[in-house]
Amino acid sequence: MSLWGSRMSAPLDPRVREFTSSLEADKRLAAYDVRGSLAHARMLKRQRILSDDAADRIVAGLEEIAREVGEGRFPWPDDAEDVHSAVEARLREKVGDIAGALHTARSRNDQVALALRLFTLDAIDSVDDALDDLQTALLETAREHVDAVMPGYTHLQRAQPISLAHHLLAHVEAFDRDRARLGEARARAGVSPLGAGALAGTSHPIDPRSIAEELGLLGTFRNSVDAVSDRDFVAEFVFCCALAAVHGSRLAEEIVLWTSSEFAFAQLEDRLATGSSIMPQKKNADAAELVRARGARTIGAVTAILAMLKGLPLAYDRDLQEDRAPLYEALDIAREGGRMLATIVRGLRFDRAAMRRACERGYLTATELADHLVRAGVPFRDAHAVVGRIVRELADRDRPLESLTLDELRRYDTRFKASALDELKVEHALASRSSPGGTAPVRVREALEAAEARRRARAGER
C-alpha cells in the first residue's frame, strides 16, 4: 500500500519499491507507531477535528491492532513500504475508509519521529536495567571479597596490592557514569514532535501538549523544522550504548585474563565456559570474549549514525530512514552484553590464595618502603632511588621483599626502623591505603554502602 501514489502518472518500479522499503526495520516500531496514533486520534476528537463517532471507531480499531502487535499476530502485508502504511492498511480493513481520517494534521515525518522517540525511551530503560543487573552482580561479588588482596596493575605489570572488591567497584563507577548518561539522554529523547507535520506545522487547531502528556513525555517541540529533522536523540543513545559496551569490554578482557592459566585468579563455572573440539583440557571464556568483540560494532554504529547525519540539509530527507540499523545494533549489543556480563560475574569463583601469591612475587609493597623513608625525613625522590636499588638487587637473586631483615634494610639506609618489616606485609599495605577513595577495607566498605545507596536512589527515580 502506498500513501502517496496519486501524484505519479506511472506505478512505482518494483526495484525502487524494494530498495526504499523500510518494512523489516520498522517492525520493531509497530507498537510505538500505534501508541502515537492512538494519542493522535484522541487529540483529534478532543479538538473537534474529527467527529466523536469517527474518532471512536478509529481508536477501537487501533486498540485491536495494538493487541495484534503485542501478541505477535499482526498480519504484515507484503506490499507495505513501511510500518505506517501497514498499520493504516490494517486499520482500513477494520473500520473502512474512515481510517484515512487518522492522518489529518499529521505527516509520516512527525509520525516516525514520534515512534522513534518512544522506542528510544524504552531502549534507554532496557539498557539501564541491564546495567543495573550488572552493577548488582559486581556489588554482590565485591561484598564477598573486601579483604581479598590482589595485584593492582599499571601497564599490565603488577603495581600495588589492592582489594578485589576495590577493583570491582572501579567497574561499578564506570557503569554508574553510563547510567547517568542514559538518564540525561532520556530527558532529551522525551520530547513529542507530533504536530510538526511534514516540516511547517498544520492549519488545524491541534493540541500537541495533550499528546505529550498522554504519552508520558516531558514536553513538545519548539520548532517544526527541527522536530522532523532531529535525530540527536538517536545519536546520543547510540553513543551511550557504545561507551557502556567499551566499559563492558574492559571487564570482559579482565575476566578472560583472570581465568587464564597465566593469571589463575578465578575459575568460571562450567555452565559458563566452552571447550575445544580437539583439545580436551580447554575451558574457554567464549562469552566474555564475544562481549569484548561486539563492543567494536557499537563504535561502528556511532560512526554510522553521525556520518548519516553529517551535512544533511533540513528538514526531512530519506537518509533518516537509515537511523534504525545503528540504533538497533547498539541497543542489542549493550543490553545483551550487560546481561551476559552479569551472569558471568555471578559465575566467577576467585582463588584468594593465588591472588595473594601474585602479590608476594611482584615487589608490590616497594612503595610502602619508600613511604617509610619519607616519614623518616627522606625526600621522596631519594627514597624512591633507595628502594629501586633494593628491588633490583633482590630481583637479581629472585628474593621477595618480605624476606628482608632489618639489618639488610639498614645496609641500604640507616633510617629504616623495625616497623618497616611490618609495612612490607601485603595486608599492611592494603590497610594503610585509607585515604578517601582508597583500597583499605574500611574505605571499600564505605564505598560499597555508597554504591548501594546510589542504586536504590536511581531505582526510586524510575
Q: Report how far residue 119's alpha carbon sits from residue 140's, in angstroms, rounded to the nearest whole number.
A: 32
Q: Which residues contact 156 (CB under 8 A, 6 or more apart)?
A: none
Q: Report how far residue 111's alpha carbon sits from residue 39's, in angstroms, rounded to the nearest whole number.
A: 11
Q: Report how far residue 152's alpha carbon sits from residue 43's, in angstroms, rounded to the nearest whole number.
A: 60
Q: Report how far residue 457's alpha carbon sits from residue 403's, in angstroms, rounded to the nearest whole number.
A: 49
Active site residues: 155, 276
Q: Report how far residue 2's alpha carbon sits from residue 79's, in angstroms, rounded to the nearest whole number.
A: 8
The answer for 100, left when phi > 0, alpha when psi is -120 to 50, beta otherwise, is: alpha
Contact status, residue 137 vs residue 346, Cβ threshold 8 Å? yes
- Cα of 381 vs its chain's centroid, Å: 43
Contact status, residue 414 vs residue 376, Cβ threshold 8 Å? no
Place of cell 542504586: 455
Contact status, residue 223 vs residue 246, Cβ threshold 8 Å? no
